[in-house]
Amino acid sequence: MKDLAVIETILRNRYHFFIEIRDGIGLREKMRAMLISSVIFFALYGAVLGSTHSLWQALSSAVKLPVLFLATLVVCSPTLYFFNVLFGSTQSLTQNVALILTAITVTSVLLLSFTPVVVFFLLTTGGYQFFKLLNVAICAVSGWMGVSFLSQGMRIVSAVGKEGTGARRNVVRLWTLLYAFVGSQMAWTLRPFIGAPSMKFELFRQLGGNFYSNILVSLGELLGFFVVR
């Protein structure tokens, strides 16, 4: 219940939560709670995603979705830390990771909140491209909200009036783009999460193509421009 109490604090009293991160209060407990909750929420959402295909795909996606977000965090956090330090931040790497973990936790909570919607469409529609685009949209909205949280957190954590505050804000904006690019490429590398109905279960697919062209192809098929074979 303590882990969920941390989530409640993030959602209800984010200012207080970010101030505690800024002051380094209870960082380990907070990070542990956020890590456990987000892994569980991502796993559940991943299981729902994979359930359109097979049980093996459901299990695989339940493992891969938490890995996707946590691996993206690990890859991107040093960049945020060093650029922030370069522009006068006094925060440690752990504090930066805690802030990014807050964004990831918010994303995972929002994905969990969309789970009943996704299950509804899973039970009532059969269109693979539609289901894929629906989930890309849900992930994009949830990810964007999570990153907005990070941006708010960075503003609160960066002491007002200190040197380089404006520059650090720009760093966060640019880092958000980097995070989105790394995240989408990571998702592409770890695919499939849903699993094409015409294909057998695969843990990973061969590298090739990219996330953005695949989404355009799916849009094209959904809108009736062409059929993907």
Partner 1 sequence: MSDTDLEVLLARIRAQMELDSETECEVLSELRAHLVEALAEARASGLDDQQALAQVAARFGVEQVGRELQEAHAGWGTADAVIAAGLPAVCALVLRWLAFAPDGTALGWPQLLNRPSFWVVALLMLFLPLVKFRRWRYAVAGWLIFWTLTVVYVTWPALRW
Binding residues (CB under 8 A) for partner 1: these are: 1-5, 7-9, 11-13, 16, 41, 44, 47-48, 51, 53-58, 112-113, 115-116, 118-120, 122-124, 126, 197, 200-201
Identify which of residues 44 and 215 has a Cβ nearer to partner 1 in the complex: 44
Residue with Cβ nearer partner 1 (43 or 99): 43
Query: Cis omega before residue 116 (within 30°)?
Result: no
DSSP string, 175-196: HHHHHHHHHHHHHHHH--SS--
**Smallest distance, Å, CB 166 to partner 1?**
32
Query: Between 1 and 207, whose beta carbon lies closer to partner 1?
Result: 1
Helix, coil or strand: residue 74: helix
CA–CA gap between residue 43 and residue 55 (Å, rounded):
14
How far separated are the first and last CA of the chain, in Å rounded?
48
Which class for 57: exposed (0-12), middle (13-18), buried (19 or more C-beta within 10 A)?
buried
Q: How far is the CB of 107 from partner 1 (least distance, A)?
A: 14
Q: How far is the CB of 114 from partner 1 (least distance, A)?
A: 8
Q: Provide the minimum distance between the beta carbon of 92 and partner 1 in the complex, in angstroms, as a whole number.
A: 26
| Smallest separation, CB 50 to partner 1 (Å) | 10
Nearer to partner 1, 39 or 76 (CB): 39
Q: Closer to partner 1 by CB, 48 or 68: give it.
A: 48
Cα–Cα distance for residue pair 214/29, rounded to 1 Å: 40
